[in-house]
Structure 1
Amino acid sequence: MHDLDETDLEILSMLAEDARRPFSEIGEAVDLSGPAVSDRVTRLQDAGIIEQFTIDVDRAQLRAGVPVLVQVALPAESVETVRERVRGSDGVEHVFVTAEGDVWFYARAEARNVRSWVAGLLSDVDVEGYAVTLVDDFEWTPSVEGLEFALTCVECGNTVDSEGETARIDGEIYHFCCPSCLDRFETRYRRLEEGA
């Protein structure tokens, strides 16, 4: 695995602003050809740094609704249930799990039915309480500028640098800080696979 350079970070930043931006346009900005940008993006995908390309839908343009931020306090055993239920709900745009184990989400709901909509989402789940806050203004600005990217070795937890290794094992990508960690991981992986 090679360290990300300034060009990689600039490409990531431009794709964060507009994932449909043509590689030729990005190439002009970073002084590379379109195919060279394509190669770098493919390498970033293969390394697991870029996982997917998404769109940011302004739901206000699609249907009426009141923007709300919902904070749900719940016991640890209910977090995954609530997160999956909320994630699959129509109108929910962003879901967060806090360090305290609460689930927060941003959504657009019908003005006259906000309380019943939230209660319906949380029915049959052990919930300690929730709060609904009306949102006056909302801005989502994803950025990769100023961030330090560091991959972690799956074997020992050290940071993967330019001396590191990347391997695809049974279709999954793994990063290692050194060849010996890769060897240990592969040996243990194969042993577990044979015992299964």
Structure 2
Amino acid sequence: MRDLDDIDIEILGLLVEDGRRPYREIADEVGLSPPAVSDRVQRLRDQGVIRRFTVALDREQLREGTPVLVTLEVDPAKLDTVRASIREAEAVEHCFVTVDSRLVVQANAPADVRQWLLSIVEPEHVEEMAVDLLSSSEWTPAVGATEFALTCDECGNTVTAEGVTARIGGEVKQFCCGSCEARYREAYENLASDV
């Protein structure tokens, strides 16, 4: 695996702005040929840096509803269950989890937000709920070159040129060295055999 360079970061920034931007246009911006851009994008996908290309919808334009920001304090033992239920709800735009087990959800919800939420999640899993009406929202993802680094999925160290990319359990994982990959793979296989 190669380290990401300034051109990789620039390509990522251009794709974040518009995931459908033609490679020829990207190539003109970064000073490469379209095939070279295609190769870099494919490498970034293979490394798991780019997970998928998607569309950002403005749900307010697609259906009726009230734009809200909901904060739920959740029983930590039920966090994954509640998050999964919230993420499956059609009105949900974004779902964030804080370190203290709060879920912050941006949604375009029906007028009775409380009833809507209680139809999605088990009431006993929610300790507190706060709902704020939104006047507007904006999603502006960015790629910051100074803070960008891949981290090892086993030990948390920075992945350098000596790093390893592997597909384990259908997911792309990054490792700083072959030893970390072997430890992770062994632990994964042990857990999988116990199921």
TM-score by length of 1: 0.86
Contact preservation (8 Å) 1:74, 1:126: yes
Match of 1:141 in 2: 140
Match of residue 19 from structure 2? 19
Deviations 1:49-96 (A, max 9, x none): 111111110111111221000000121112111111110112111001
Q: Which residue in 2 is equivalent to 1:47?
A: 47
Deviation string 1:132-170 (CA, Å, 9 cap, x unpaired) is 100112111000134522222344432211222334457
Q: Is the 8 A contact 1:164 1:176 kept in 2?
A: yes
Query: Shift in Å at residue 110 of structure 1?
Result: 2.6
Partner residue, 2:149: 150
CA contact (8 A) 1:93 1:107 kept: yes
Distance 1:19 1:93 in 2: 18
Are the structure 2 counterparts of residues 169 and 22 from structure 1 closer, same or farther at C-alpha, using a change threshold of 3 Å?
A: same
Cross-structure match for 1:96: 96
Q: Which of the pair has more CA radius of gyration?
A: 1
Determine if contact 1:78/1:125 at 8 Å carries over to the other structure: no
Tell me the amino acid that sits aligned with residue 67 of structure 2.
P
Q: After the TM superposition, which residues 3-152 of structure 1 pair with which residues of structure 2 at under 5 Å, given as runs?
A: 3-111=3-111, 113-152=112-151
Whole-angstrom CA distance in 2 between matches of 1:64 and 1:147 = 41
- Any idea what SS the aligned residue of 2:125 has? coil
Structure 1 runs (4+) greater than 6 angstroms displaced: none
Q: Percent identity?
A: 49
Q: Which runs of 5+ in 2 are unaligned?
A: none
Give the counterpart letter for 1:50 in structure 2. I
Count of residue pairs the alignment pairs up: 194
Residue range with higher mean Cα deviation, 152-161 or 32-41: 152-161
1:160/1:177 contact within 8 Å kept? yes
Q: CA deviation at 1:125?
A: 3.8
Query: In the TM superposition, what is the alpha-carbon distance from 1:174 to its structure 2 partner?
Result: 3.4
Cα distance in 2 between the residues matched to 1:104 and 1:170: 29
Q: Deviations over 1:100-139 (max 9, x none)?
A: 111110001233x223212322345421110110011211
Q: In structure 1, give the amino acid aligned to 2:99.
A: A
- Structure 1 unaligned runs (5+)? none
Q: Which moved more, 1:138-147 or 1:177-186?
A: 177-186
CA spacing shift, 1:158–1:171, aligned 2, 3 Å: same
Tell me if structure 2 keeps the 8 A contact 1:155–1:185: yes
Question: For residues 94 and 191 of structure 1, what CA distance do their matches in structure 2 show?
Answer: 33
Q: CA 1:91/1:167 → structure 2, altered by over 3 Å: closer, same or farther?
A: closer
Distance 1:167-1:59 versus aligned 2 partners, 3 A rule: closer
Distance 2:28 2:108 in 1: 39
Q: 3-state SS of the aligned residue for 2:49?
A: coil
Deviates more, 1:42-51 or 1:57-66: 57-66
Summarize the Cα distance change of 1:134–1:3 in structure 2 as closer, same or farther, 3 Å threshold: same
Q: Return the TM-score normalized by structure 2.
A: 0.87
